[in-house]
Amino acid sequence: MEIDEKLEDLYMPSKWVVRVPVEQAVPVHVKVTIEESERVRNNVNGKLGVKYGSDVGDVVDLFNEECSSKQMMVYLSGGYWQELTGDISAYTVAPLVAAGHCVAVVHYDRAPKQDMGGILAQVERAVAWLVRYAREKGMTVWLSGHSAGSHLCAMLLSSGWYEGLPHREKSIVRGVIHLSGVFDLLPLLSTSVNTPLKMTKFEAEQFSPLNQSNMDKLSTAKHLQHLVVVGENDSPAFKLQAEQYVEELQKRGCQVSHSVQEKEDHFSLVERLMEGDYSLTQQMLAFMEIV
């Protein structure tokens, strides 16, 4: 499929960054996430590389397992399902641990190593394992994801796996935090994002959280709390998708909050989650107190 230049710009978050030159946005993001993740992995009490499945890449990093809050935040990083790694995705951990929570940073193999169906199956294995782990530890679970990671969180909660859980296990998952998420994959078919993914139109529809069937399945879990956040300097496409997703959740009677983080862009929105006094960090911690 030919690249649509207008869609290419709308779905390239770096094009909308104003705090640094456009070409520096991604390198700066990678540098920040590498440095903070390395600091966390070296200094915060945790178990790295815990196996959640039989595949080589099926690992999760667990921080502060013996948490006082008995609450676990699961984090799925972005990178358009093809960039970044779990090793550099521990940058949200420190303030959550300081507040008494456990944090699970999920690793997953990205395109072109596997396609979208494979990625979704892998993160489903991860979160299924974490829900069982949380049940044994007497914990509740919150999901969070950035960009493509947000998409994966949404699809997990629309999956046959989650729909089929007994009520007791389903209710262990209390809510989800979407950080500049992608909820409709169809526009990506006309962008370079799809080059390694090779999604068909059918697959893009099937794997879109905004697909009506996926929304209907998600809305059966009325206990779930949803927080949908974008940056003021996010792309108009990401802002629009967030608004559409919130509207669909509201129409179905789901519990959802929506906020725009002033002055932040697609990358700084999550880079600053290493800061305990950052307003979004505080918002997320407060969100976890909702019963």
| Catalytically annotated residue among 61, 184, 234, 265 | 234
Which of the residues 37, 77, 144, 147 is marked catalytic?
147
What residues pair up with 142 in beta bridges, in sequence order? 73, 175
Q: Residue 155: CA atoms inside 13 Å, Cβ hemisphere, count?
A: 28
Task: Please compute Rg for the chain using Cα positions.
Answer: 18
Nearest CA-CA partner of 271 in 45, 48, 95: 95
The gap from C-alpha 227 to its chain's centroid, in whole angstroms, comes to 12
Annotation marks residue 115 as catalytic: no
**Is 234 one of the annotated active-site residues of the chain?**
yes
Active site residues: 147, 234, 266
